[in-house]
Amino acid sequence: MPGSIFLLFIWGIWIFATFLMDKQEVHRWAIALFALVIIICLPLKLSIFGFIMSGQSCIVLITCYLIIVKLPLKKQLVLFISVFSLILGYTGVRLFELYDPILMIVDRRILLSLLLIIVSYFVFPFNFLERVLFICLGVIQGEFFLAIILSKWEIPYLIGSLEIFDILSITLFTITISYVFSKIFVLMKVNKNKKVLH
């Protein structure tokens, strides 16, 4: 069922932020609220300039823009150029998929997630937050671009469908897990070095 992976992912975020995160964590309530608002907005569909957009897409876009505004100007420019490149690449892959779906041998969710993970690690190898912003903005704005192209043939298209959020969920979950494991590995290495010194 489209959206089942996304629902599992977003409920997992809400449960983790509400019950498992450290009570002193600054962003705890913001993360929990973000997840809850997305769940509430799931049935919503908005019409923007004649295009239909899902409620969760709007929430993710607005949140990403609010985070980007707080970044330094240099990082904003780098993100802008990177996201624009991803928009074009994502739209190209989606159009190719629509044109000849038989050539998409692997499950499209796995294939697109894998491509997004690889590209995000090439562009932002060290910064987790920038990687997440890059993926979310690139995919959702790529959806806008795809909707604009398809509208020329009067093909209706929902921007940010549940299937697209399944792809985003797989991608973000994989990136988060790899980030957590890298942090654990670094901590283990530091502790090992401390023991050697003592």
Q: What is the pLDDT of residues 26-83, one digit of tens each?
A: 889 999 999 999 999 999 999 988 899 999 999 999 999 999 999 999 999 999 999 9
Cβ-defined contacts of 179-188 (< 8 Å, 24+): 179/128
Buried b / exposed e over 141-163, threshold 16 CB at 10 Å, is bbbbbbbeebeeeeeebbbbbbe
pLDDT value of position 41: 94
**Alpha carbon 162 to chain centroid, angstroms:** 13
For residue 68, count other CB atoms closer than 10 A to its CB: 16
163 vs 97, residue with greater confidence: 163
Q: pTM (2 decimals)?
A: 0.91
| Secondary structure (3-state) at 45 | strand
CB 59 within 8 Å of CB 168: no
Quick: pLDDT tens for 98-135: 887 766 677 888 989 999 999 999 999 989 999 999 99
Strand order in the sheet with 51-54: 45-48, 51-54, 158-159
> What are the residues whose beta carbons fall under 8 Å from the beta carbon of 8, sequence distance 6 or more?
169
Question: Stretch 1-10: mean pLDDT, rounded?
Answer: 92
Residue with tokens 């100007």: 73
